[in-house]
Amino acid sequence: MNNKWWQKEVVYQIYPKSFYDSNNDGIGDIKGITSKLDYLKNLGITMIWICPIFKSPMDDNGYDISDYFDISEEFGTMYDLRELIDKAKEKNIKIILDLVINHTSDEHPWFKEALKNPESKYHDYYIFKNGKSVPNNWRSVFGTSVWEKVEDRDEYYFHAFGKKQPDLNWENPELRNELYKVVNKWLDFGIAGFRIDAITFIKKDLTFKSIEADGVDGMAKCTKVSRNQKGIDVFLKELRANTFSKYNCVTVAEAPGVEYDELSNFIGEDGYFSMIFDFKYADLDVKSGSEWFKRVNWTVKELNEKIMKSQISIQKTGWAANFIENHDQPRATTKYLIENERNNDAVKMLGAMYFFLRGTPFIYQGQEIGMINFERKSIGDFNDISSIDQYKRSIKEGFDEKDALHFINLRSRDNARTPFQWNNKKYAGFSTKKPWLKMNDSYININAESQIGKKDSIFEFYKSIINIRQNSKYSECLIYGKIEPIQTSDKTIGYIRHYNNIKIYCFFNFDNNETEEYFEGKYNETVLNNLDCEFIENGKLRLMPFQALMFTTI
């Protein structure tokens, strides 16, 4: 594919509610983001993705939108957003927003009118079924039935996620046109593009028949019948033609359920989107991303295989959006490094491993300082509706409360949503008021203030790898170069990036023991080394525990 402007970006994801509180009400806001632009510029990122800031009752922390054209009061105003975009532009930082068009809030005027008047056009903007009993046995992503009864009527509405998030009826062309207006208005406003939420859910199996149960509740995951269904291509082509293709924008799709042989349709030269997130390696610790109690023991070798399969498959047709953390995932430090979550060498190694994969790297807030998971002592400490539902499902499936709480602590979306740790003062410098979500006590030792300007800190390491990718003599190779897996020992992930006559060997040791690896050619120059030690001979190298080593050959 031809080189695109967005391939060179380094994206920083912000969960606005937890980034920085500028008005000391315990909730992060837009002005808080603006006030930290210098921090982000210092880090070296070039683009910010902001999770939903639109008007919302916040049942799912903004992913339940009640007005696409207004800003939630707790985050600020349209003027604040305009100021953020303009000031970010002065620092050569672009802004993309979260686009949520699979569903709305049940407090959106469209849905209110649909409930009020079943004869109105808005009733067909959503999915309703008549009947005195639940239409089928489909289970929502958040654990309950996808159907919610309409009060005082023999009617149910469909929601793939929470019951306050009714799905939009994409079969209705008038509804689709309304959504295209939303997209175009925001692109005209001056944003650089969108991360597109749950977009593979917009097409359903229109038979709405019950399917074989997969749980003791007698229900079955709705992803089998309401995600990436046959015919979705019609909607996605039309969406692109009426919106994205008219602008020089970037689109990053949350597209679970897309198989590798379908990638050309999604991210090929004429694909629906610029790039997609691939969750196949992100969910290697559970059998299903939506069933946390089905734990899987994994190995570094399996992680390596999943990452490389993803990279090679995407390379054939398009571009990857590479990540190890986001607002829906636990902290990568805890998830992938486990008991070594506080080992700075290990955290740096992990960061470098994914950062130099082929694609655009995404950094989630707090990742650059090594934030870790928390451990909450009771289900009452959780805010995330998905975590609460998974706790209840775990118990229904036969686990006791202790086990259920353990599963939730490992995978809860609240892990990544705790307030950003700016310093070691009260409330971690996030606010002077008690934050909306309980803090992680790790802020005493893990915080930005203690790392900025400190030579061996995780923050400065992230700053250095961004600089290597963006501004070094190897930038073209590390951005546009192809990727090729290397045969390594079981605890090492290795790959080659090559472009024109440059070949960079990349090795990442996940073990707390030394390991020996082999390479072709003759060592030339070190590109990256997170440790002082280095032992390289022709065709052979010794990696220290948690060493990340990248070098060129001749």
SS3 state at 524: strand
Instruction: With beta carbons less than 8 A apart as the criterion, state whether 506 and 495 touch.
Output: yes
> From CA 195, how far away is CA 180, in angstroms rounded?
15
How many Cα atoms occupy the beta-carbon half-sphere of 123 within 13 Å? 13
Distance of CA 160 to the CA centre of its chain: 19
Instruction: With beta carbons less than 8 A apart as the criterion, state whether 365 and 18 touch.
Output: yes
What one-character DSSP code corresponds to residue 334? Answer: H
- List, in order, residues 6 or more apart from 325 with CB less than 8 Å away: 331, 332, 363, 364, 367, 416
> From CA 547, how far away is CA 532, in angstroms rounded?
10
Q: Which amino acid is at 380?
A: G
> Do the bridges between strand 138-139 and strand 220-221 make them parallel or antiparallel, or are there none, so unpaired?
parallel
Q: Which amino acid is at 215?
A: G
359 to 127, 318, 429, 473: CA distances (angstroms): 37, 9, 33, 18
Instruction: With beta carbons less than 8 A apart as the criterion, state whether 529 and 496 touch.
Output: no
> From CA 385, how far away is CA 250, in angstroms rounded?
30
Instruction: With beta carbons less than 8 A apart as the criterion, state whether 158 and 126 touch.
Output: yes
Number of residues that this document lists for the chain: 554
CA torsion angle 42 47 53 54 (round to 10):
150
Instruction: With beta carbons less than 8 A apart as the criterion, state whether 34 and 83 touch.
Output: yes
Residue tagged 């679970």 (tokens): 256
Q: Which residues are catalytic?
A: 197, 254
Picking from 284, 229, 308, 287, the residue whose alpha carbon sits closest to that of residue 262 is: 229
- List, in order, residues 6 or more apart from 327 with CB less than 8 Å away: 13, 15, 51, 364, 413, 416, 417
Instruction: With beta carbons less than 8 A apart as the criterion, state whether 477 and 505 touch.
Output: no
Greatest alpha-carbon span in the chain: 78
CA atoms 253, 257, 258, 259: torsion sign: positive
